[in-house]
């Protein structure tokens, strides 16, 4: 059992009007999204992992190393935890140049540098900014430098607190590709706080859903996003994330076919070359159900699927139906009227009609 | 142009102000840091005590210092026990009094500078492996530099400008406790207006230049 390779965390924080009480097991690799609405405790949890929350009580075992165990009076201060932290707003030292900001943490790390400075600089594309002062950088550039500065310490755990929240859409799309590269190239676990479903769907491998200081659900991205038993706060935006491969381009109709286990969908022509991996989201409200393969419809994406379970949706008039399309989960949001008239019950074979897919990236 | 007595007074004043400012930067920094960071219920009490010289007549402060430091006061007994004699009417006594009297002029600018920096830069430094001391010297001190400059200027200038406390605790001993402000008083008493003019005019010019330097300094750097 790879028990030692995981991160075990148990934290309690009690403030007037807010309680955090979580117990977590995070995988030792990949990106874990701490996902929830504002006030759900996700940033507090991240700060607990970093040792920045002085009033937290709990324990933290990082891949077999005890970082905190308040019952035994053990608590490593933040500067003795081998982690990188990217704050929500850019947090560069204003009195130091970009280069000296990058050096600040790096020269305080003893031993081997698993991530070279050159690699961090290249990964974030900030080579041309090294001699600038932070106030001469754009918001997006500052955040890229902050990420590179955290990476340059060769952290064993990277914590990111909504690194895109303070940026406008254009800056966000400027940074997201860099974050995706981190995901692909880094061997270390990353905890990524976000309240934006599309960001989570694009970057995460695992999800921890938080609500009012409690863990509501945790697990792999696809399974967790496809769960129906979550509070309505999450189901109003219900949907699934599917990872697919660019399989074919149709130049006549300007379309691209994306294949995934259990089927394929056709979307408007993409720039990506064949074989590239792409993630897309299918919102439950964009999926309808039919008893037979529909003829004479404008909807091109039709998938055979088996009904797995039915659950309440955000309104009494609707239900959420979880489907299995040859291994790929789907969720459809249909009316209770249709549920009864089509006789939708677990085990029934149906056709899922997908009106729209949201490509991430 | 300056008489020997006036030169001695100016020299003594600069010495007193320099020593007082250095001591205040050393003593005032931890007090200001504590006041800027603490959530203790004692914050208000300590803050008020530090600010007292702003509102108290110098005679009140001088009177109590005289009582405490004098031969029958608790500190006076201690200094006698240690073989240091008593502090009133010595230069050392003047330094002690000046430290108390100018304390708010150093502590308050520092406290404001530390509060403006906030906790975030320290947290950032901690996530970059800097210990609290390391972070204080490499992040807080550089960022609080404008506050330290303001505190030094105000502490120095205010010590140069004191009169009442000096008279109460130091008396008027040439080359020991007779500072410029007391010397001017002496000249005026003796109707030596020309001598008084030289020192008073010098003080006026000095004070104006100090405040000019203070108010025309560029805006302090902000945390980004």
Q: What is the pLDDT of residues B114-130, one digit of tens each?
A: 999 999 999 999 999 99
Interval B122-147 mean pLDDT: 95
Q: How confident is the model at residue B167 (pLDDT cuts 50, 70, 90)?
A: confident
Residue carrying the six token digits 């200027």: B153
Ranges of each domain in chain A: 3-234, 239-360
What is the model's pLDDT at position A233? Answer: 54
Interval B167-172 mean pLDDT: 85
Chain B environment of A105 (Cβ under 8 Å): 127-130
First to last CA, chain B: 52
Query: ipTM above 0.90?
Result: no
Contact yes or no for B99/B23 (Cβ under 8 A): yes
Report the SS3 class of residue A12. Answer: strand
pLDDT in tens, B13-69: 999 999 999 999 999 999 999 999 998 999 999 999 999 999 999 999 999 999 999
Mean pLDDT over all residues of chain B? 90
Report the SS3 class of residue A27. Answer: coil
What is the model's pLDDT at position A2? Answer: 44
pLDDT in tens, A291-301: 998 888 888 89
CATH value of A239-360 in 3.30.365.10, 2.40.30.160, 2.40.50.100, 2.40.110.10 = 2.40.50.100
| pLDDT cut 70: percent of chain B above it | 96
What is the model's pLDDT at position A174? Answer: 75
Residue of B nearest to A91 (CA): B224
Residue carrying the six token digits 């931890």: B30
Question: Are the beta carbons of B130 and A134 separated by less than 8 Å?
Answer: no
Mean pLDDT over all residues of chain A? 88
Q: How confident is the model at residue B223 (pLDDT cuts 50, 70, 90)?
A: very low
Question: Are the beta carbons of B124 and A150 separated by less than 8 Å?
Answer: no
Interval A127-135 mean pLDDT: 95
Out of B124, B139, B222, closest to residue A87 by CB: B124
Residue B222: exposed, middle, or buried by beta-carbon count in 10 A (0-12, 13-18, 19+)?
A: exposed
Mean pLDDT highest for which of A237-251, B98-112, B155-169?
B98-112
pLDDT in tens, A19-77: 999 999 999 888 999 998 888 999 999 999 999 998 889 999 999 999 999 999 999 99
Q: How confident is the model at residue B222 (pLDDT cuts 50, 70, 90)?
A: very low
Question: Are the beta carbons of B127 and A150 separated by less than 8 Å?
Answer: yes
Q: What are the structural domains, with CATH classification, of chain B?
A: 4-38+46-215 (1.10.3720.10)
pLDDT in tens, A148-163: 999 889 899 999 999 8
Question: Are the beta carbons of B138 and A104 separated by less than 8 Å?
Answer: yes
What is the model's pLDDT at position A37? Answer: 85
**Taking 50 as the threshold, does the pLDDT of residue B220 lie above it?**
no
pLDDT in tens, A184-218: 777 889 999 998 887 888 888 899 999 899 998 89
What is the model's pLDDT at position A180? Answer: 80
Q: Which pair of tokens denotes residue B126?
A: 């901690």
If DSSP states are collapsed to H, E and C, what string results for A128-196?
Answer: HHCCCCHHHCCHHHHHHHHHHHHHCCCCCEEEEECCCCCCCHHHHHHHHHHHHHHHHHCCCCEEEEECC
Q: How confident is the model at residue A1 (pLDDT cuts 50, 70, 90)?
A: very low
Chain A positions contacting chain B at CB under 8 Å are: 50-52, 77-80, 83-85, 87, 90-95, 104-105, 108-109, 134-135, 142, 149-150, 153
pLDDT in tens, B69-97: 999 999 999 988 888 888 888 999 999 99
CA atoms of B150 and B22, how far apart (whole Å): 14
pLDDT in tens, A335-350: 999 999 999 999 999 9
Out of A84, A90, A109, closest to residue B224 by CB: A90
Which of A84-88, A200-204, B204-208 bottoms out in mean pLDDT, i.e. has the lowest? A200-204
Residue carrying the six token digits 């029934």: A348
Question: Residue A156's CB: how many other CB atoms inside 10 A?
Answer: 17
Out of A94, A105, A153, closest to residue B224 by CB: A94
What is the model's pLDDT at position A234? Answer: 62
Report the SS3 class of residue A342. Answer: helix
CATH 3.40.800.10 fits A3-234, yes or no: no
**Taking 60 as the threshold, does the pLDDT of residue B12 lie above it?**
yes
Suggest the residue from B39, B116, B120, B124 to mutate for an interface test with chain A (most A CBs closer than 10 A).
B124
pLDDT in tens, A318-338: 999 999 998 888 999 999 999
């Amino acid at each position: 059992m790879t028990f030692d390779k995981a991160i075990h965390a148990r934290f309690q924080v009690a403030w007037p009007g807010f309680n955090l009480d979580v117990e977590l097991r995070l995988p030792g690799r990949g990106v874990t999204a701490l996902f929830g609405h504002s006030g759900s405790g996700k940033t507090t949890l991240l700060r607990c992992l970093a040792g920045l929350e002085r009033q937290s009580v709990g324990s933290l075992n990082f891949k077999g190393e005890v970082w905190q165990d308040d019952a035994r009076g053990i608590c490593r201060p933040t500067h003795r935890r081998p982690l990188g932290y990217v704050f929500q707003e850019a947090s560069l030292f204003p009195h130091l140049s970009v280069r000296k900001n990058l050096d600040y943490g790096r020269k305080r790390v003893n031993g081997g540098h698993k991530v070279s400075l050159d690699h961090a600089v290249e990964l974030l594309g900030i080579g041309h900014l090294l001699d600038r002062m932070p106030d001469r950088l754009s918001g997006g550039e500052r955040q890229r430098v902050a990420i590179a500065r955290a990476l340059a310490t060769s952290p064993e755990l990277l914590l990111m607190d909504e690194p895109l929240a303070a940026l406008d859409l254009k800056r966000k799309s400027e940074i997201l590709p860099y974050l995706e590269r981190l995901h692909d190239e880094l061997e270390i676990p990353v905890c990524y706080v976000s309240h934006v479903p599309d960001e989570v769907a694009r970057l995460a491998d695992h999800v921890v859903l938080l609500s009012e200081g409690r863990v509501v659900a945790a697990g792999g991205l696809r399974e967790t996003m496809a769960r129906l038993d979550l509070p309505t706060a999450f189901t109003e935006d219900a949907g699934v994330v599917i990872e697919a491969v660019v399989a074919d381009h149709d130049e006549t109709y300007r379309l691209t076919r994306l294949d995934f286990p259990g089927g394929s969908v056709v979307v408007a022509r993409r720039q990506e070359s064949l074989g590239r991996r792409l993630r897309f989201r299918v919102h439950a409200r964009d999926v309808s159900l039919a008893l037979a393969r529909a003829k004479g419809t404008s909807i091109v994406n039709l998938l055979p699927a088996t009904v797995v379970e039915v659950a309440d949706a955000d309104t009494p008039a609707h239900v959420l139906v979880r489907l299995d399309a040859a291994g790929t989960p789907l969720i459809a949001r249909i009316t209770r009227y249709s549920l009864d008239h089509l006789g939708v019950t677990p085990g029934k074979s149906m056709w899922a009609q997908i009106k729209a897919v949201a490509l991430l990236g | 142009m300056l008489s020997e007595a006036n030169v001695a007074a100016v020299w003594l004043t600069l010495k007193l102000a320099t020593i007082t400012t250095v001591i205040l930067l050393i003593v005032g920094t931890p007090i200001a840091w504590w006041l800027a960071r603490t959530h203790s219920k004692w914050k208000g009490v300590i803050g008020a005590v530090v600010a007292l010289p702003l509102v108290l007549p110098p005679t009140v402060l001088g009177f109590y210092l005289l009582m405490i430091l004098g031969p029958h006061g608790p500190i006076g007994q201690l200094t006698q026990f240690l073989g240091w004699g008593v502090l009133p009417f010595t230069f050392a006594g003047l330094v002690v009094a000046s430290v108390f009297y100018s304390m708010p002029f150093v502590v308050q600018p520092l406290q404001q500078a530390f509060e403006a920096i906030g906790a975030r830069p320290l947290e950032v430094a901690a996530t970059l492996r800097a210990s609290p001391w390391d972070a204080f010297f490499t992040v807080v001190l550089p960022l609080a530099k404008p506050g330290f400059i303001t505190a030094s200027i105000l502490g120095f200038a205010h010590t140069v400008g004191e009169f009442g406390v000096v008279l109460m605790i130091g008396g008027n001993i040439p080359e020991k406790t007779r500072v410029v402000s007391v010397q001017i008083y002496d000249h005026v008493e003796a109707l030596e207006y020309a001598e008084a003019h030289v020192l008073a005019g010098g003080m006026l010019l000095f004070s104006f230049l100090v405040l000019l330097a203070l108010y025309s300094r560029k805006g302090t750097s902000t945390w980004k």
